[in-house]
Amino acid sequence: MSNAKSSLKIAIAGLGVVGAEVARQVINRGDELSEAAGTPIEIVAVSAREPLLDRGVNLDGIDWYDEAPKLAERDDIDIVVEMIGGSEGVALDLARAALGSCKHVITANKAMIAHHGAELAQLAETNDVHLLFESAVAGGIPAVKSLREGLAGNRITRVAGILNGTCNYILSTMETTGRDFEEVLAEAQRLGYAEAEPSFDVDGIDAAHKLTILAAIAFGHKPDFKAVSIQGIRDVSSVDFAYANQLGFRIKLVGVAEPGLVPRMQTCLLPLASQLAKVSGVLNAVEYHGEPVGSVLAVGPGAGGGATSSAVLSDLIDIATGRGGLPFGRSINTLLDASVIENFAGPDKPFYVRLMVVDQPGVLATLTGILKKYSISIEGLLQQGRAPGNAVALVMTTHETSVANLGIALDEMEKLPIVKAKPVAMPIMLADRET
């Protein structure tokens, strides 16, 4: 897979924040990057929607294409850098065409890899080219390379991570300021941390795409986004942070993948002393557990032009030096289907449950009666203040219980006239090893 040409010629499709930064780095630091790559690197073509837009980089002498898939037709291009985004459409058309034309592909498109990674990996392997996507997961953290290379000799037992900086910023800010979700989300949008349409972030979808990729590499199965259990952060209230703090926990959106279990993206309570609980703001973190290494934690910026372009440049240099490797660390024909995942919920675990209930006699007896029916044991109860006849927050923590039993019990509670809002439940992680 080594490049025999006198220089490595690349095309960039998509000149947004990341694509423009990749172009800027290659153009302004060409000599330095070429030295690291062992061969000159040059951009020969680009494609984007607005050719006249000032992107802060001089693109004179570089061919412009209005239609990105046309880049795959150029015989002189060695690597296509796809920065368009989206699981379908132009990005997928370009990736298929480029790999089918024996061109290496580098992409930051986590959605495309989560949905179509197996197909694209097969194309890359068939045509003896590389498909690399370090920039698709956790930005500046070498999350993919850590699994595929640095920890390749380990039997991975768990991968857990904070994989979305927008959600981590919102939760961290809600905790420190006491403000509610909608207000902090609006602030994150003003600061550029959240999109105008934030669903992919706050509903956990973006992070679940990344978790899909990590799980596939860690446990040797084909990426299958449909197999991931996803919970976002919309249901978290400012009151939850006050209660969590009393209990010695911090609320985080954490992705967890373990062998034989459905990967899960979940809002949960972590002990204040745990490693992931200490990761705040827009940072990402990935925690690997394996044998014989034990536990490894990597923390860094998860998004933005600098962090993501850093990962793209790393992939460029890997291809130039012959270190590209296989997309998921092993031949596509050896990857198992998602049917290897046998258990949806995993082992029983304790939960934090918040109910908005009418403050009146008999409420607790009614609720505990339902819990008893489904073999759910209460570990503790918390309620701040009294408001006879009005709705108040009642928080309970449970002993270890099954997700299924708790879900049935909460559905039954929600139908009661004394329960005034949908119950909120989050798993409690008693130690890092249980995340």
**377-412 per-position pLDDT tens digit:** 999 888 776 777 788 889 999 999 999 999 999 999
Indicate which residue of 9, 103, 110, 210 is catalytic: 210
Please report the pLDDT score of residue 283 as a whole number.
93
- Judge residue 153's burial from the number of C-beta atoms within 10 Å of its C-beta, 0-12 exposed, 13-18 middle, 19 or more buried: exposed
pLDDT tier for residue 43 given thresholds of 50, 70 and 90: very high
Q: How far apart are CA 255 and CA 260, in angstroms?
A: 15
Q: Is the pLDDT of residue 110 over 80?
A: yes
Q: Is the pLDDT of residue 315 over 80?
A: yes
Q: Is the pLDDT of residue 433 over 50?
A: no
Please report the pLDDT score of residue 51 as a whole number.
78
Full set of structural domains in the chain with CATH: 8-140+309-334 (3.40.50.720), 145-301 (3.30.360.10), 351-430 (3.30.70.260)
Please report the pLDDT score of residue 399 as a whole number.
95
Q: Is the pLDDT of residue 16 over 80?
A: yes
Q: Which of 198-202, 343-347, 356-360, 382-386 has the highest mean pLDDT?
A: 198-202
Q: Is the pLDDT of residue 302 over 90?
A: no
Greater pLDDT, 431 or 143: 143
Please report the pLDDT score of residue 254 as a whole number.
97
Q: Is the pLDDT of residue 344 over 80?
A: no
- Cβ neighbours of residue 250 under 8 Å, at least 6 residues apart? 175, 244, 269, 270, 271, 272, 277
266-297 tens-digit pLDDT: 999 999 999 999 999 989 999 999 999 999 99
Q: How far apart are CA 322 and CA 317, in angstroms?
A: 8
Bridge partners, 294 (sequence order): 290
Q: How far apart are CA 371 and CA 378, in angstroms?
A: 8
Q: How far apart are CA 326 and CA 318, in angstroms?
A: 12
pLDDT tier for residue 125 given thresholds of 50, 70 and 90: very high
pLDDT tier for residue 417 given thresholds of 50, 70 and 90: very high
Q: Is the pLDDT of residue 372 over 70?
A: yes
CB 121 within 8 A of CB 332: yes
Please report the pLDDT score of residue 128 as a whole number.
95
Mean pLDDT of 93-107: 97
Please report the pLDDT score of residue 337 as a whole number.
85
CB 254 within 8 A of CB 248: no
Q: Is the pLDDT of residue 435 over 80?
A: no
Q: Is the pLDDT of residue 367 over 90?
A: yes
Average per-residue pLDDT in the chain? 91
- Cβ neighbours of residue 278 under 8 Å, at least 6 residues apart? none
pTM listed for this prediction: 0.91
Q: Is the pLDDT of residue 161 over 60?
A: yes
Q: Is 222 a catalytic residue?
A: no
Q: How far apart are CA 78 and CA 2, in angstroms?
A: 11
CB 326 within 8 A of CB 125: yes
Mean pLDDT of 18-23: 93
Q: Is the pLDDT of residue 50 over 80?
A: yes
pLDDT tier for residue 5 given thresholds of 50, 70 and 90: low
Q: Is the pLDDT of residue 347 over 90?
A: no
Mean pLDDT of 249-258: 95
195-236 tens-digit pLDDT: 889 999 999 999 999 999 999 999 999 999 998 999 999 999
